[in-house]
A = this chain, B = another copy of it.
Amino acid sequence: LYDFTAEPGNVELTVKEGETITVTNANIGGGWIEAQNSRGETGLVPEDYIEHLTLPAIILQFPLRLFQASNGNDPWSVWNSDPSRGSNNNWAPSAEGNQTGRNAPEPWSSGTHSHPQAYQGPGAEDDEWDDEWDEMKSTSGYSEPGEGGAIQRGGTHASSMKISLNKFPGFSKSGPELFLLCKQAAKGKEKISIYLGEVGPVWFYPEAQLDCIVADPKKGSKMYGLKSYIEYQITPNTTNRPVNHRYKHFDWLYERLLDKFGSAIPIPSLPDKQVTGRFEEEFIKMRMERLQGWMTRMCRHPVVSSSEVFQLFLSYKDEKDWKMGKRKAEKDETVGVMIFTTIEAEAPDLDLAEVEQKCEQFSRFTKAMDDGVKEILTVGNEHWKRCTGPLPKEYQRIGKAFQNLSSVFTSSGYQGEATLTDAMTAAGKTYEEIAQIVAEQPKKDLHFLMETNNEYKGLLGCFPDTIGVHKAAIDKVKEADKLVNTNKITAQDKVTMAKRASTMSYALQAEMNHFHSNRIYDYNRVMQQYLEEQVKFYETIAAKLRHAHSQFTTM
């Protein structure tokens, strides 16, 4: 709005009237904001000197974020406002970052710092994250301030939105009405089909399922070695041609998918941005495993995996091609609720009651499953702690006690002591081995049970947003009569709205059916694997003890 000249030697930033700057931190306070200009310079600028630009992408993301802001800490309360459960429901779609409290699964809490500021280890790896952080800001435009608040990135954007509902009274240019009342369906080549399958509405599934392998993390560097990063190799089964991507590319992809599909399809957060401290290798391995899990889930999704932006990510050719693709993806306007314009359901329209009933059913289910999954994580985490802490210590002490008594016996000077003492020492050592086996077991079984449930926790955390969009659409359609009566919309608009709500419901049903089929597959697999490893565990111990037993003389 006005010229502002920074005081020399200060942290301020000089701006000119009409210059476009990017707000990097709106929470400075004292009438200041932190911003970056087009030359990459960052500094403080008086809040009153600038005016917020509103970009279409941001508007379209509003519906997603609206419900979280409007419902306080409990996104589920859209449907279920039982206040007695409120304290348990302090979660958000990408709320891993909020789970650092008492109930956070400990082996999983290593993934809870999504903010580079949390970094307190030695500086070696600092660059990577700063680099990712900075570049992300300048390329994705995602740190643009929204209405009245900065939209933060990735993991925390939803819960940090502080937009009050009363800025969108009745009708607004955002929200599901944008789709419900848009003049015509998008004319792009994009088309997402829904069929009526055996289980109800289903997405169109490609014949060959896309899959990819995330492997071979390598340290790279740029700026003459000043900045270092880890590059992962991603090999799709379609091309079998590996492409390399850094975490920040995954993050960019995530943001694009969230923008584009988030209203219809839960896009789970990436494994958290994290600082490594001393356990770099273990961390990289864990991140790779989780990136693999995320990619597998995205590949499995027929709509996501066939999208242009996802294909771009998997078919990286050269930097130029990549940058062009990126720019195109960032300009995509079929994002937010507009994704529904591309959906075509080959089925009769649903009436509103049915739409609402389905929506409520899904909401109840995902909420209940979220509770169930969290229970497993809590219990599993306690079990993990016991199995790696006190339990092996106890077996070790039992083993030591046997061995100590055995060595006392050896000192007896009595003849014919050796068979007993050898056997007792062996028994003692067996219990020390058991201690080791017990301590290492969680990595073999509980780990996958926890990882799968953690993934589902993330996935389920996306549903309140997705369901919230539907709920808002339903509410809007319910208002239709009143709107017709007050001449705000025409009778034809009302018909269109109902039809489009039906389309949205088909999308939600297709997505739920996709979710269910994946869930059944995943839980079958993880339970089988868990039990298989548990059987091996008990059998191994039994065999060891049987051997120890055989060394005592029979009388």
Task: Determine how close the nearest CB of chain B comes to the CB of A460; give it in whole angstroms.
Answer: 11
Cβ-defined contact, B412 with A516, below 8 A: yes
* Closest residue on chain B to residue A368 by CB atoms: B408
Q: A523-B420, A531-B549, A531-B552 are contacts. A405–B369 as well, Cβ < 8 Å?
A: yes
Task: List residues of A (515-530) whose CB comes within 8 Å of B's CBs.
Answer: 516-517, 519-521, 523-525, 527-528
Shortest beta-carbon distance from A391 to chain B in Å: 7
User: Which B residues are CB-close (under 8 A) to A369?
Assistant: 405, 408-409
Q: Which residue of B lies closest to A390 (CB)?
A: B386
The reply to whether A398 and B414 contact each other, CB–CB distance below 8 Å, is: no
Complex Cα–Cα for A513 and B520 (A): 67
Chain A residues 318 to 342 lying within 8 A of chain B, measured CB to CB, are: none
Q: Do A405 and B373 touch (CB < 8 A)?
A: yes
Interface-side segment among A89-97, A108-116, A486-494, A538-546:
A538-546
The residues of B that contact A161 with a CB separation of less than 8 Å are none
Supposing A521-B555, A545-B535 touch, asked if A199 and B398 sit within 8 A by C-beta, the answer is no
Contact size range, A? 35 or more
Known A199-B414, A548-B531: A379·B398 in contact at CB below 8 Å: yes
Using known A-B contacts A372-B404, A415-B199, determine if residue A534 contacts B545 with beta carbons closer than 8 Å: yes
The answer, yes or no, to whether A417 is at the interface (CB within 8 Å) is: yes
A372 → chain B, closest Cβ, in Å? 4
Tell me if A401 and B375 are in contact (CB < 8 A).
yes
Q: Which 3 A-B pairs have the closest CB atoms?
A: A538-B542, A531-B549, A372-B405
Q: Does A424 contact B (CB under 8 A)?
A: yes
Chain B residue nearest in CB terms to A431: B534
A513 touches B375 (CB 8 A): no
What is the copy number of this chain in the assembly?
A: 2
Given A361-B413, A383-B398: A520 and B420 interface contact (C-beta under 8 Å): yes
Which of B390, B391, B541 is within 8 Å of A538, CB to CB? B541
Task: Indicate if A298 sits at the interface (CB-CB under 8 A).
Answer: no
User: Is A82's beta carbon under 8 Å from chain B?
Assistant: no
Q: A427 interface residue, CB < 8 Å from B?
A: yes
Cα(A198)–Cα(B365), bound, Å: 78
- Tell me whether A552 and B528 are in contact (CB under 8 A): yes
- Let me know if B199 and A531 touch, CB within 8 A: no
How many angstroms between the C-alpha atoms of A528 and B554 in the bound complex? 8
Partner of A423, one of B372, B517, B527: B527
| Chain A, range 192-217, C-beta contacts under 8 Å to B | 198-199
CB nearest neighbor in B for A404? B372
CA distance A420 to B525 in the complex (A): 10
Q: Which residue of B lies closest to A383 (CB)?
A: B394
* Contact indicator B552/A524 (Cβ below 8 Å): yes
Complex interface: chain B residues within 8 A of A521 (CB)? 555
| A382 contacts the other chain (CB 8 A) | yes
Picked from B365, B520, B555, the residue with its CB within 8 Å of the CB of A411 is: B365
Closest residue of chain B to A377, judged by CB? B401
Contact call B527/A427, Cβ cutoff below 8 A: yes
Contact of A379 among B401, B523, B531 (CB under 8 A): B401
